[in-house]
Chains A and B, each alone.
Chain A
Amino acid sequence: MSGTSAIESGFAEREPHIPEPTLDRPIDYLHAQSTLRSWFLATDHKRIAILYLASITAFFIIGAVAAGIVRLALVVPDGAILTNDTYNKAFTIHGVVMVWFFLIPSIPATFGNFLIPLMIGAKDLAFPKLNLTSWYIFMAGALFTMVSVVLGGVDTGWTFYAPLSTAFSNSWVLPALIGVTIVGFSSILTGLNFVVTIHTMRTPGMTWFRLPIFVWAHYATSLIFLLATPVITTALILLILERAFHIGVFDPAYGGDPVLFQHLFWFYSHPAVYIMVLPGMGVISEIVPAFAQKKLFGYRFVAYASIGLASVTFFVWGHHMFVNGQSDLASLAFSALSFAVAVPSAVKVYNWTATIHKGRIRLDTPMLYAMGYIGLFVLGGLTGLYLATLAINQHIHATYFVVAHFHYIMVGGTVLAFLGGLHFWWPKFTGRMYNEAWGRISALFIFIGFNVTFFPQFILGYLGMPRRYGTYPPEFQLLNVLSSAGATILAAGYLFPMVYLLYSLWFGRRAPANPWDAKGLEWETASPPPPHNFLSLPEVPRVPYDYPIQERESGRQHT
């Protein structure tokens, strides 16, 4: 770097009021300060991650309760339990809260926030205050949305299609729209922070191809945050103005085109699927090698596949609109491009499978979740290709097949990865071990409950049951009852971890720095880590995932 004569000033700009830990006086980030103020004004990425974890857990509970209401109502076909309006509000709240307030921030804002600096050997994210701002923006958006729920709810579906949302719905659409718009900025700022951090804050020796896949996946996710979110911000702003002032852009009454909203919406919302999926893939790519004690198979391919998915996903949004009146040319183009998603997805799945091959497998809770993830993601992904096939789509578009498909991706994929990651890094986050037996039991409950809930929905969809139906023809009742029964098992599976994880906070065994014999810089520091992550600059291994068992690659062999 020539030409700059920047000076190093003698004192640091931000005077730390945190006592510096030393080897004989270790202070972790949780106990460095204990006032409420020190939490709500925290700039430590780890504390902000915990703030996010607490908030998204709350939103998960709200979304799950709404889902429970939906499943309860669908036990009977004639809508005797809920009125149509209440049912519509329940599934809208479920969708809005789960998509924007749980799934999108779930892994990036919690694990990503906590782990990226640790994994790359940095003291913090590049912009710690911005990171805190992101959380406050997130909460502000959540507040608006919750206001709409408390006032009486929204009944537009999470997709907010015009002109239903702008000119016809009599529910509290505006606060919900404003809330979702605001939350977008939180995503953008988080993505910005990650991109800059991963580019500039890597510790010396941490080259791109020594980064864990988790970091690659978050880099790809962040690119989507930056490139997709602004478009839906614009779309939602136009929708808000449409509803408030009837500007007409999406309103056919004035010559506007409601399909244009769908284009702008899906330009974001299809890539948003990968905002939810890619971080989960990152988590799985950490768990599988750790519990196989084996280097990740095809590391470079998996890394590139993350970037590949993030790019390809921008070319396929129109497959949500095959029967919505877009041109046949567009439908053919979007359908063909959608099949390209199969390539990077296959890379990921087969490489995880190959990693398990000839490993030294420990079937602890995180690994159980990871194996469940692989199976369910494969099914969810391939059923996505059914939907991308034009002729099949004409039949199963907007049926329960779609519902089943994206729950296999969102729950089977993202939520399982989230829970797997939560168990994997719980010792690192909290310094405590959870109860392994309960962990395995709940993983089993979730896997079984999930499949009983959602597999029947594939059949319902192919039989032709449309989604978002509060009442339905009686011939679909049996499968719906089965699905609702599965949901109770799933709910139990969700409740167990909430109990035993909380229990472990006070009564769990103290965790060592590296309870899983895992590789990666986050395991090189104490559990929980000190405020600035490392007491001394960590040494970066020459290969990522340098586990005992490794394939021969680029001429190196380890035993």
Chain B
Amino acid sequence: MSREAEPPMAPGVGVARVEHFATVEQQRHAAVLGIWAWLVTELLLFSALFLVALVLRLQHPEAVKAAALHLKFWIGAVNTVVLICSSLTMSMAIAFSRMGWQRAMVRAMLATAALGSLFLVLKGYEYYADYEEHMMPFLALRPYALAETPASRLFVNLYYVATSLHGLHLFTGISILLGMTWMAAKPGFLARHQNWIEVYGLYWHFIDLIWILAFPILYVVNR
């Protein structure tokens, strides 16, 4: 196995074996493989949405363009920066956990959660601005700004589906992260559950990756 290039674990950091595993190594391996299997699933979940976006673009290029120009490009860009920053803090949390610096790790985790929340706040503001500009075609009672190009509502609605599904993942992620931070602040955590941080980090980076895909696919490419 090829973990040799990776910085070594500090003494006193590790994983406690759960009874049905034969070795700790097996347990760690299972956790990493498990989260990857889940992430592959998530990738296909979002890819199907991206495929729908692509088909819309092929079938209604003008309408999609009109819709994409109404998206808040700069909020999307700032949000991308926010998530990239959160990825850095998450990577730092993982690094600290390997070094055994528990307090620094907890702070990095809190920073990650804060950045994630900032993303959601900005996203919420974006939705609010969209609402003000009559860009919510799924609201039956509110006239739609681009009503003269009916096909544009498909793309705008898809934008809401994709971003809210991503937002849901982020919200779940933040909740889990906060719960885990609370546990991780307790003494002895790193001796028993260091791999939780690693596994969770993969999930967080992956949410980031999905946004890295969603931002250009929704906001940039169709301009």
Contacts and interface: CB of A to CB of B under 8 A. Distances in A.
Which secondary structure dominates chain B's binding surface? helix
Given A5-B14, A234-B49, A241 B44 contact: no
Most buried by B among A4, A124, A257: A4
Interface residues of B, number: 61
A246 to B, nearest CB: 7
Nearest to A195: B37
A257 B158 contact: no
A99 to B, nearest CB: 20
Interface of A: 1-9, 12-14, 16, 122-124, 126-128, 188, 191-193, 195-197, 199-201, 203, 226-231, 233-235, 237-238, 241, 245-249, 254-257, 260, 264, 267, 532
Given A226-B41, A238-B52, A6 B9 contact: yes
A4 B41 contact: no
B52 A255 contact: no
B20 A2 contact: no
B221 interface: no
A127 B32 CA distance: 12
A264 B48 contact: yes
B63 A8 contact: no
Contact of A127 (B34, B42, B60): B34
14 contacts: A4-B3, A5-B14, A7-B15, A127-B30, A188-B38, A195-B37, A201-B22, A201-B26, A230-B43, A230-B45, A231-B45, A241-B157, A241-B161, A255-B59
B38 A192 contact: yes
Contact of A532 (B20, B37, B153): B20
Given A234-B45, A255-B150, 20 more contacts: A2-B4, A4-B9, A4-B14, A6-B24, A6-B194, A7-B15, A7-B24, A9-B17, A12-B18, A12-B19, A123-B20, A126-B21, A188-B41, A191-B37, A192-B34, A199-B33, A231-B48, A238-B49, A241-B161, A249-B154
A379 B68 CA distance: 52
B52 to A, nearest CB: 6
Given A6-B14, A9-B192, A254-B150, A192 B63 contact: no
Nearest to A204: B22
Interface string B112-154: 0000000000000000000000000110100000000011011
Contact of A13 (B17, B140, B161): B17
A226 to B, nearest CB: 5
Contact of A196 (B9, B17, B37, B151): B37
B25 A248 contact: no
